Structures are given as C-alpha cells and as structure tokens.
Amino acid sequence: MHKTLFNISGDIEEAGNALSLTYSPEQLYALRVGIRRTRSILKHIGSHKSRSYRKTWGGFAAVTNDARDWDVFLITAEKLLTPGDYCSFETLNRKQVQSSREAAVEMLTAAPWRRHLKEWKHHLGQTGEESSGQDQVLTSLERALVKARRALQLALTVDNDKRWHKFRIAVKEVRYVADSGKDHPAKGEYLVEVSATCRSVQTLLGDWHDTVVQLDILSELADTAVHDRLGSLVRQRKEQFLSEIRSELLEQPLFR
C-alpha cells in the first residue's frame, strides 16, 4: 500500500500543478480520483495520523465538488439537448460554472494546499513500508467486501437514492483496496479480477449518481423551459441506469 500511496501522490501533484496553470475537466477528474484512492487506503491503515490526513484530503476534495458536478452536467446536457437548447443552458449557467472552476484553481494555488503536500510527502518518506503490508491488503479487502454486500442488501430492500449512493461508495472502496494490492505474490490475479468487476458496476453507479446530482442542481436553478426539458430527460436516464445496475448485479456474485 505504501508504494501505491507514493505513486498516487505523484499523480495528484502532477494534476494539481497542471490545473493551477490552466483549468481542465480531465485534470480535475485525475486529481479527485487520486485523492479518493488515497483516502480509501488511509481508511484501512487506521492510525491516528492516517485519520488526520484522510480528513484533510477530504476537505480539499470537497472544494472541487461543484466544479466536477458542472463539468459532468455540461457534457450530459450537450448530449441530451438540441444545440439551441444547450446554448441557452450554457449561457444561463455560465457564471456558476466559472465560479466553481475558479474555486478549485484557487485552492491549488493557496498556501494550505502547498503546505499539505509538503507535509504529506515528508510523512510518506518517514513512514516506510511498516504502515501496511500484503496481508493487510487482503484483510482490508475482506472488510470492504462485507461492507459492500451489506450496503447492497439495504439498497435492494429500501431502494432509495441514499442507500444506492452508499453502495456506490462501498464498491468504490473495494476497487481502490484491490488496486492497491495487485502486486500481491499469491492473490494478485484475484485482486485484478475484483477490481475489474468493481469497475463495471462502478461505471453504471457513477452514471446513475450523476443524474441524482444533476436533478439536485436543477432544483436550485431558475425555472425555465430549457431546465424543465432537461430535468425530464435526466429523470428518464436515472431510471434507465438503475434498471441496468440491477441487471448487472444479477450477473455478479462478488457482492452477494
């Protein structure tokens, strides 16, 4: 896990440096994935220090939430709307989009971010491999799988956005733990298979969750014809994705 954290940290710093110069949805996505993977690994290390760093990373990620949500929403809106309607949608919400992006860039150019990166890299250099081992990866994976299976049962039983979101987060955690142990001498192939299964389910869950976020955004926007049309189309996508998720899970024994 320690080697994985080192590699992920390099990816985070690279994406952050690029974003601080020129905003890019792709670089923001890379930054957020790196932070999520880091937080997932820290969760399973379990020390006081790891919990503190996990909280700090989470705070930085939260600053970028709005920018990422708008990046995805613009892509979705362009797919669903006519060119004329999309132009209207983009114009109506341009100020909010720009504001969310500026907040993300400002975070990456501020002193707290630079200080955190310096402290984090020092921590990794001091910690060494004793923070985790191959056996811990398997133990962490089993805990993550148990949590994901429970989350799925609740999602299928209660069947609301909150429970499906918790299952989505649990699947993501399983995948990141599996990814961190792919070089395991005895279980590497198994961990690769687990990661691939999670990726398939996670893609559908991510698409579904985007529709939930987009409907929340629309509920706070001005009441216009283009927003109403887009809301109707997004609701249809939401139901479609949820149906596909259920079908996919019937063929996946990992979470049962």
Q: Is the pLDDT of residue 132 over 60?
A: no
Does CATH place domain 1-132 in 1.40.20.10?
yes
- Radius of gyration for the chain, computed over Cα atoms and rounded to the nearest angstrom: 20
State pLDDT tens for residues 95-120: 999 999 999 999 999 999 999 999 99
Mean pLDDT, range 212-216, rounded to an integer: 98
Q: What residues contact 51, with CB distance under 8 A and at least 6 apart?
A: 42
Identity at 253, one-letter amino acid code: P
Is residue 130 very low, low, confident or very high in pLDDT (cuts 50, 70, 90)? very low
State pLDDT tens for residues 135-152: 678 888 999 999 999 999
pTM: 0.88
| Tokens 């996505």 found at | 29
Q: What pLDDT was estimated at residue 44?
A: 77
State pLDDT tens for residues 53-106: 999 999 999 999 999 999 999 999 999 999 999 999 999 999 999 999 999 999
